Amino acid sequence: MNRGNVSERRHEPPQVGVTSVILALEPAREHGRRRLWLPLVRRVREPFLGQWALPGGPLRADRSLEQSAYETLASTTDLRPRYLEQLYTFGDPARSRGGVPMVSVCYWALVGQADVAQLEPRHNVQWFADDDLPPLAFDHRAIVDYALWRLRHRMDSPRVVRQLVGEPFTLRQLHALTEAIRGERVDVANYRRRMLASGLLEETGGVLREGRQRPAALYRFRPGALDDAGAPWLPAGCEGEQLEHMNTAPERASADDNPLGSLTTALLHD
């Protein structure tokens, strides 16, 4: 069916797709705070030809929003998400800069700790630190900023924090994670006192030697603390068995039939 030129299509209902912000925590650094990293894809057509953008793709009638977001992640990195949450819907008519109007249902995902320098390179995909991002296409910088804001407001949720720090952990590791997410220095002594008094942690009985430091006690979140979703005004995300089901669903289509299975599709979508 002839859908007309771009000018005519601007007055039709917009196309709808998913866009994902994928966050990974870098390994411990000898100096300086740890940083969050995210993959970007280089666009191969106008608008914003050659610029970096978040991975995304179109929706399919036989896919849920969460499955579409999960498969967008899979087309960009070999890392499996530990947590996936709907972020926001962006649909300003001006966001496509004169192109066909697009509505993006955005998600953010956590893939835990990863040394991005050791990841297998993928065509037109590059990882960037959250404090050293290039100019982004469309309104994708606003999407990244909102995802980081959302993560900071999830720091009171043990379910989310556990996906990045893992268990068991030392208070030093938990402190480093907090600094990475907040993007600023946090007083160590005050942080330790606050966490130990929070009632969220329990000692495992084990210890871990970190560098030349004396062995540090290992902690985990109390079972009851994991029932606390944190900020009640934020939507709940997917984790654990919910994500495993998306990864092993038998009805998944082949790469030839799946537009999200092709990284090229992700590169073309906003």
- Token pair of 48, please? 């914003």
Q: Please state, in angstroms and rounded to a whole number, the distance separating the CA atoms of residues 96 and 47.
A: 7
Beta bridge partners, 216, equal: 208
Q: Give the per-residue pLDDT at 3.
A: 54
Helical packing angle, 158-165 and 171-182, nearest 10°? 100
Class of residue 189 by CB neighbours under 10 A (exposed 0-12, middle 13-18, buried 19+): exposed
pLDDT at 258: 35
- If you write DSSP's letter for every residue of 90-158 in order, what string do you get? E--GGGGTTSS-EEEEEEEEEEEE--GGGSPP-TTEEEEETTSPPPBSTTHHHHHHHHHHHHHTTTT-H
Look at residue 6 in the predicted model and tell me its pLDDT.
Answer: 57
- Go through the domains of the chain in sequence order and give each one's CATH number: 6-153+234-268 (3.90.79.10), 158-227 (1.10.10.10)
Q: Give the span between the Cα atoms of 62 and 55, in whole angstroms.
A: 20
The tokens describing 215, both together, are: 């062995």
pTM, whole model, 2 decimals? 0.80
CA 268 to chain centre: 20
Q: What is the dihedral of CA 143, 109, 86, 252, to 10 degrees?
A: 120
- pLDDT at residue 137 in the model: 93
Q: Residue 202 forms beta bridges with which residues?
A: 220
Tell me what pLDDT residue 22 has. 92
How confident is the prediction along the chain (270 residues), in pLDDT tens digits per residue? 455 555 666 667 788 899 999 999 888 776 777 889 999 999 998 889 999 999 998 888 888 899 888 888 888 887 778 889 999 999 888 777 666 778 999 999 998 888 787 877 788 899 999 999 999 999 999 999 999 999 998 887 888 888 888 889 999 999 999 998 888 889 999 999 999 999 999 999 999 987 777 899 999 999 877 665 555 545 567 766 666 667 655 343 333 333 333 333 333 344
102-113 and 15-25: which strand pairing?
A: parallel
Quick one: tokens of 208?
A: 């871990």
Query: What is residue 184's DSSP assignment?
Result: S
pLDDT attached to residue 1: 47
Given this model, what pLDDT does residue 254 score? 33
